[in-house]
Structure 1
Amino acid sequence: MAVFVLVSGPFTGGRIWQEVEERLREAGAEAYAVTLSGMTEGGEAPAVAAGDVDLETHVEDVVRVIDGIGSAEDVVLVGHDYGIHPVLGAADRRPERCGRVVYLDAGMPKDGDAPLALVPDASVAERAAAEGSGAADGAAGSVPAPSGAEWARWGSTAGLSAEDLARLDRLAAPQPLRTLTQPLRLTGDPFDRPVTGVLCTANGSGIAMAEMLVASGPPEFRVLAGPRVGFFELDTGHWPMLSAPGPLTEVLLRAAADEGRRLTAPDDSPSARPGTFLLDVAERPRERRGTVDLHLPEGEEPSPAILFVHGGPVSPDQRPTPRDSPTFLGYGRYVAGLGAVGATLDHRLYGLDAYPTAAGDLAAAVEQVRADPRVDRERIALWFLCAGSLLAADWLAAPPPWLRCVALTYPLLAAPADWRGVPERFRPVDAVGAGSPPVVLTRVGLEHPVFQTTVDAFLVAAEKAGAEVDVVDVPHAHHGFETIDHTEETRDAVARAARAVLAHLTA
């Protein structure tokens, strides 16, 4: 049987694993629940001062446990939430002893990532920063442990009884600040070993989300479709060791046996089959200025402009870049043939934390387009696709008078729970209101469930606020249909959406 090393999330120690640890041993496995330095439970004074504890201290804690196990090589390291950081650090230092890493409702940190970047509540991150800057004599302090309802800031409390929450309160300990702010240092790829993801569906994660991320999410999530990566779901909240110790134990044993659902990138994803644009559009004069291309219509009078905004995150090395892809070349040429300037850009959405950078790139591109004398600067539309639609939030919340329309095609309108690096500012579901410009939303019937949930929430919010939304439904189309679904239905959908946008531009 396997040997399990169990490392919990912030503010908790080894005793939170008691039921799981006992069940694993009853099944014949070895199990070691780790209480990390500075995390003494039950109100006891820690043996090490918080200022002397950082992430590297916790990595060494886990390494010492591994070294003390003996000759067993098949060690399964289980990292819950924050615990995945010291687990990955220890696996990197003892690769020959690590048989598998289990991400238990945890993020996917890389070399150089600080745990604070994955904190789900911005107010908690601000409090952590304040604790550090306000510590006496410049020494690092601790983040106070949550209690009662405050635990929900760190993850869903679904499935926890009143007794469970009281137990969390009793066992909680302040989290040394430097464990959250020190970057994780790795020499190898965390996925160069067997990996299992255990997703707690009540906390917003699930296999459907993982499949979406593989198919059309940020490039770093493609490793989830690797041959040595498996997945399980638990229908509970963020603390399954308390709310579902039996199912969690079963899942850990199955993970050690190399079970779990494998993911594959679907053959019809845009990244797998880039294809050609679904409409046969004639080339138009195109001018390239920096990161912006202008596809120009006929005529000498200034024309309204539609600026198309790609999704992502994308790799900075991606070739062709989005504006040279069939989708954006097609859209630019198509609207130019209809009498508008079709503008496209390459923005720097290179990671989940890069939305502010991409927003700045978009704002600069808008000003560049409006400054062109061939553009009617008072008649501009922004057309967002896929996860680039999160960038629409700023424009929906505070639209300038010249922004006549916002178009959204198979959009993501709120960041999934696992996209913790996306700032709260980029939530169109919260930004849409009565003062927003008219919206043309193209909704595909074969959408990823995670995307569809955000579209549904956006439409509810828009209706409640009295915002104007024109929905173009494409029942039999996939996400990225412009290059994979060449049907009369999808061609008609593009034409309907473009006509609706142009109607707002010329009204």
Structure 2
Amino acid sequence: MTHFVLVPGAFLGAWAWDEVAARLRAAGDEAHPLTLSGLAEKAGVPAGQQTHVRDVVAEVERLGVRDVVLVGHSYSGIPVGQAAERLGDRLARVVYVDASVPFTGESFLSGWDSDHVRAAIEANAGVWPPLGADDCVGQDLTDEQIAGVLARATAHPGATLTEPAELEGSAGDLPSTYIKCLLDGDAPPPAVAELLKGDTWELVEMDTGHWPMFSRPAELARILRASVAAHQGV
């Protein structure tokens, strides 16, 4: 039995993992979806990036388990990758789902044309407003799914996006799986491609969009389980 801690990306809460979590549990594993501070039912809670790192570490400590697999989608790869380093031998694996990866001194907004995000944060009292329906087009989501996601999405705390990551080593030092969703670009970012050259990282591709927990939950659950089994000799 594997303990998966499932961390959603920007604008989302633990609810985003409902379908994936149900499939993991049906297969005999434990799934622990986590809402980060300032989002969903925790909206309004002040949060910086290190708040989110502590959220993830605290959840593992609350569970009191070992051999944990941390799963981070999109933005949450940044706090998940930092939290993974702090778990030491309690960590079994990190899985980045079409996610950003932390690098010391760099923020979520580093390395891409993010001026529009920074401007939106400044214009909206320090939060990043949720995306619109147009941002979800071409990502393998039905109109009903898009409407459902947008109805539950919440603004994202801006400081978590602009503050730099803090690592003692490198995310490349930890056993990791990177899931690339091909409708959101056909290759991982260059910095992630470099990490994938190492012995501890592996790449898995999904022919779907940026939110596979909605578009392909059964396939994503199978990949999560397989990423662990392959490295346990099961």
Q: TM-score, normalised by structure 1?
A: 0.43
Q: Is this contact kept in 1: 2:97–2:179, CA < 8 A? A: yes
Q: Which residue is 1:472 aligned to?
A: none
User: What is the CA distance between 1:157 and its match in structure 2?
Assistant: 4.4
Q: Which residue is 2:43 aligned to?
A: 46
Q: Which residue is 2:77 aligned to?
A: 84
Q: Is this contact kept in 2: 1:7–1:80, CA < 8 A? A: yes
Aligned mates of 1:15, 1:118 — CA distance in 2: 29
Q: Which residue is 1:319 aligned to?
A: none
207, 229, 232: which one aligns with 1:257: 229
Superimposed CA distance per residue, residues 456-493 of structure 1 (whole angstroms, 9 cap, x where no aligned partner): xxxxxxxxxxxxxxxxxxxxxxxxxxxxxxxxxxxxxx
Matching residue's letter, 1:80: H
Q: Is this contact kept in 2: 1:107–1:118, CA < 8 A? A: no
Q: Is this contact kept in 1: 2:4–2:69, CA < 8 A? A: yes
159, 163, 166: which one aligns with 2:147: 166
For the pair 1:74 / 2:67, whether they are aligned, the reply is: yes
Matching residue's letter, 1:3: H
Identity percentage of aligned residues:
39
User: What is the CA distance between 1:46 and its match in structure 2?
Assistant: 2.5
User: Which aligned pairs between 1:353-502 and structure 2 lie closer than 5 A?
Assistant: none
Aligned mates of 2:98, 2:198 — CA distance in 1: 19
Aligned mates of 2:80, 2:16 — CA distance in 1: 17
Q: Is this contact kept in 2: 1:78–1:103, CA < 8 A? A: yes
User: What is the CA distance between 1:142 and its match in structure 2?
Assistant: 1.1
SS at match of 2:110: helix
Q: Is this contact kept in 2: 1:40–1:46, CA < 8 A? A: yes
Q: Is this contact kept in 1: 2:20–2:213, CA < 8 A? A: yes
Q: Which residue is 1:182 aligned to?
A: 163
Q: Is this contact kept in 2: 1:157–1:239, CA < 8 A? A: no
Change (3 A) 1:82 1:67: same
Matching residue's letter, 1:240: P
Aligned mates of 1:120, 1:97 — CA distance in 2: 36
Which blocks of at least 5 consecutive residues in structure 2 are unaligned? none
Change (3 A) 1:121 1:178: closer
Aligned mates of 1:119, 1:29 — CA distance in 2: 37
Aligned mates of 2:88, 2:179 — CA distance in 1: 21
SS at match of 2:70: strand
User: What is the CA distance between 1:201 and its match in structure 2?
Assistant: 0.7
SS at match of 1:113: coil
Q: Is this contact kept in 2: 1:158–1:237, CA < 8 A? A: yes
Q: Which residue is 1:62 aligned to?
A: 56
Aligned mates of 2:11, 2:112 — CA distance in 1: 13
Change (3 A) 1:128 1:98: same
For the pair 1:113 / 2:106, whether they are aligned, the reply is: yes
For the pair 1:228 / 2:228, whether they are aligned, the reply is: no
User: What is the CA distance between 1:75 and its match in structure 2?
Assistant: 0.6
Aligned mates of 1:26, 1:104 — CA distance in 2: 21
Q: Which residue is 1:324 aligned to?
A: none
SS at match of 1:110: coil
User: What is the CA distance between 1:66 and its match in structure 2?
Assistant: 0.7
The total of aligned residue pairs comes to: 231
Matching residue's letter, 1:57: T
Q: TM-score, normalised by structure 2?
A: 0.90
133, 145, 168: which one aligns with 1:148: 133
Matching residue's letter, 1:236: T
Which blocks of at least 5 consecutive residues in structure 1 are unaligned? 136-140, 260-507
Superimposed CA distance per residue, residues 279-324 of structure 1 (whole angstroms, 9 cap, x where no aligned partner): xxxxxxxxxxxxxxxxxxxxxxxxxxxxxxxxxxxxxxxxxxxxxx
Structure ranking higher on relative contact order (CA contacts 8 Å, 6+ apart):
2
For the pair 1:93 / 2:86, whether they are aligned, the reply is: yes
User: What is the CA distance between 1:108 and its match in structure 2?
Assistant: 2.9
User: What is the CA distance between 1:222 and its match in structure 2?
Assistant: 3.0
Aligned mates of 2:166, 2:28 — CA distance in 1: 34
Aligned mates of 1:227, 1:82 — CA distance in 2: 24
